[in-house]
Amino acid sequence: MTINPPATAERGTPLTRGEPAADAGSAPGEHRAARKGSAALLAIGLVLLAMNLRPGVVAVSPLLDAMRADTGMSTAMAGLLTTLPLLCFGLLAPFAPRIGRRFGVNPVLLVMMVLLAAGTVLRLLHPTSMLLIGTLVVGAAIAVANVLLPGVIKQEFRSRVALMSGIYSMSLFLGAALAAGVTLPIQNALHFGWRAALAMWGLLAVLAVFVWLPQLRRRTAGKSAGMSRSRGGDVSDQLVRGLWTHPVAWFVAFYFAAQSLVFYSAAAWLPTVLTGTGMSSGAAGWMLSFSSLAAIVGALFTPMLANRRLHPGVLVLLSALLTMIAFAGLLAAPGANTYLWMALMGVGQGAGLSLSVMFIVLRAPDARHAAQLSSMAQCSGYILAAVGPFALGALHDATGSWAVPLAVLVALGVPTIACGLGSARNRYASREVTVA
């Protein structure tokens, strides 16, 4: 069955959806208030889940020096602590939709938060091997949640896709900014060791567990979201076929990959680039946090602009140009106007990530397609992102300076624009749906 998108899909126009009838004995006003309260609780839960998807990875960077001094780990092993989660994100992404179909998305998301908290506790244990095992558990939990959350947005916020995509992306950057900016200050203020400072982010996952518990009563993630297996022939129980051969799906996947590659490459090396200009390590870490704070602005407002008749292709171009100008500024004058370059970079990257999430949701005709498209995009995106920091480091070692790596980051803006414009076309990434 071929699915064609409605003309209004670009602006997140509500699709037809059956609403549960009000109880005979309940007033219409009470029923509407209950639905609003349920939607608000769901939105808060989604924000908390999204905020947990970055601190477990980002909080490692400001603690690496202390970790190496305490454990004596090599540079290569220290690099694994940031590379392993990204590899988990990419390699486990294809399995996340199957897990969601089998057990239901809402229960799976709850379990992933429990695993995330457990992984942070494992990193408290003293053998260095437990640090790696805990990192793998954290990476696996985030990988599955990464893929499933866009499907929740598609299913539960059909009339507010752009707004919720922006809030979701904003929450990602908020979690990253907090982890980059407050981990060391909290460690110093409370006289924590690096293990306790790293493990404290598990408390955020515990909070998400309690807020998400009420969602287990909802039928969204399994039957209603079309992710459960059934013997019936209803469309909602059919699996997605042909996605990996669809050109629109590949545009969306490569756009997400380009965003991930640039973001994680910059996050890995920008503090080093800035300290090379004479900036202190503390100031360089703050610059990275400041960039994440600026990204919140781009992430939140970009989908709102797309929802107000501004074509997403224009926003793709603007976000890529801002990022390219920022890297070009660091290349030409790395020791001057640093706040300007980091602000432009943050807004550009925030806008780009928000658009990539929005394209995953808008180019999918239903929650099943959204989960599969999210899986495809994140599989390619995070595997490429895991290679990026290593490749830029190798370029630096080969050339003896950061000029060539920064020039490469500028040049990556060109394919990013091309893939973004392809993703902005008002078409579904769906060829047909076949019965499982």
pLDDT at 434: 34
Q: What are phi and psi of 220, to 5 degrees?
A: -70, -45
Q: Taking the CA of residue 436 as centre, how many other CA atoms within 13 Å lie in the half-sphere pointing to its CB?
A: 17
Note the pLDDT tens digit of each residue in 346-383: 999 999 988 998 899 888 888 888 888 988 998 988 88
Buried b (16+ CB within 10 A) or exposed e, 159-171: ebbbbbbbbbbbb
Domain spanning 37-431, CATH architecture: Up-down Bundle (1.20)
The pLDDT of residue 250: 93
Entry pTM: 0.77
- At 238 the pLDDT is 56
The reported pLDDT for the residue numbered 317 is 96
Distance (Å, rounded) from C-alpha 62 to C-alpha 308? 39
Say what the pLDDT of residue 235 is. 38
| pLDDT score recorded for residue 72 | 81
CB-facing half-sphere around the CA of 46: CA atoms within 13 A: 25
373 vs 350: CA distance, rounded Å: 20
Residue 246 token pair: 């669809």
Among 29, 309, 8, which residue's Cα sits nearest to residue 159?
Answer: 8
The pLDDT value recorded for residue 82 is: 76
Distance CA 381, CA 364 (A): 18
- Token pair of 321, please? 């140009």
Instruction: Judge whether 368 and 240 are in contact, CB under 8 Å.
Output: yes
Contact at 8 Å (CB) between 297 and 167?
no
From first to last of its 436 residues, the chain has per-residue pLDDT tens of 444 444 444 443 333 333 444 444 545 555 566 666 688 899 999 999 999 998 988 888 778 778 878 888 776 677 778 788 888 998 999 899 889 888 999 999 999 999 999 999 998 887 788 888 999 999 999 999 999 998 888 888 877 877 888 888 889 888 988 887 788 888 888 888 888 988 999 999 999 999 999 988 765 444 444 444 433 333 344 567 778 888 999 999 999 999 988 988 887 788 778 888 888 877 887 888 889 889 988 988 887 787 677 889 999 999 999 999 999 999 998 778 899 999 999 999 999 988 998 899 888 888 888 888 988 998 988 888 888 887 888 888 888 888 999 999 999 999 999 999 999 988 888 765 433 2
pLDDT at res. 108: 95
CA atoms within 13 A on the CB side of 268: 28
Q: In terms of DSSP H, where are the helices of 337-366?
A: 338-362
**Alpha-carbon distance values, 387 to 80, 172, 224 (Å):** 12, 21, 38
**Cα three-residue angle 169-175-147, rounded to 5 degrees:** 50
pLDDT of residue 232: 37
pLDDT, position 352: 93
